[in-house]
Amino acid sequence: MSVESVLIPFKNQQHNHESCIKSALADAEAACSKAGMRLTKIRRQVFELVWSSHAPVKAYDILAQLHQENPRAAPPTVYRALDFLLSVGLVHRIESLNAYIGCGDPSQPHIGQFLICEACGAVAEMNAQKITRLLRKQAEQLGFKTVNQLVEIRGLCPQCT
């Protein structure tokens, strides 16, 4: 697997996560600006909360955090912001967890393949063309035209093995 296909590797606990967040925010500004979309205060807050760790975050947990700064926030507040971030490709939804995680490379919209640690909750993101192509090819052999793909792999990350 080429290194390019790893969008977010598993990080050690000591890594400087502030710099992850800072870099993600810069990417988000760039992506929104490029798309002519507005990264409003609420959207930015939700984005930062999604990026608060490398584990997926749940909508109602985001809401609880958001309440600290914005007592008027309600479920639609969060879901609208998440829908926006999803549409711009800044976050991904982990279907098997009903949770959301920051995208490792919003510069190129993609679907992503996720490795989910069942012990610590950490998630790594890949975008391996080899997988994408094989899935598409296998589907084709059944006469199926692929629109998009969902790949979520559960197991144990390097730290937890």
Site residues for its own copies per CB under 8 A: 1, 6, 9-10, 95-96, 113, 115, 117-118, 124, 126, 128, 130-131, 134-135, 138-139, 141-158, 161
Please pick, from the candidates 67, 75, 118, 129, the single residue that binds DNA as defined by CB under 7 A.
Answer: 75
Could you give the string, one character per residue 19-58, with x where binding to DNA holds by CB under 7 A and - elsewhere? ------------------xx-xxxx--------------x
Residues 57 and 100 sit within 8 Å (Cβ to Cβ): yes
> Which backbone phi and psi does 73 adopt, to 5 degrees?
-60, 140
Q: Which does 149 bind (CB under 5 to 8 A by kind): DNA, its own copies, Zn ion, none?
A: its own copies
In this structure, how many other beta carbons lie within 10 angstroms of the beta carbon of residue 139? 13
Q: Which of 111, 156, 107 is nearest to 131 (CA)?
A: 111
Q: Which does 105 bind (CB under 5 to 8 A by kind): DNA, Zn ion, its own copies, none?
A: none
Backbone conformation region of residue 155, classed left if phi is above 0, alpha if psi is from -120 to 50, else beta: left
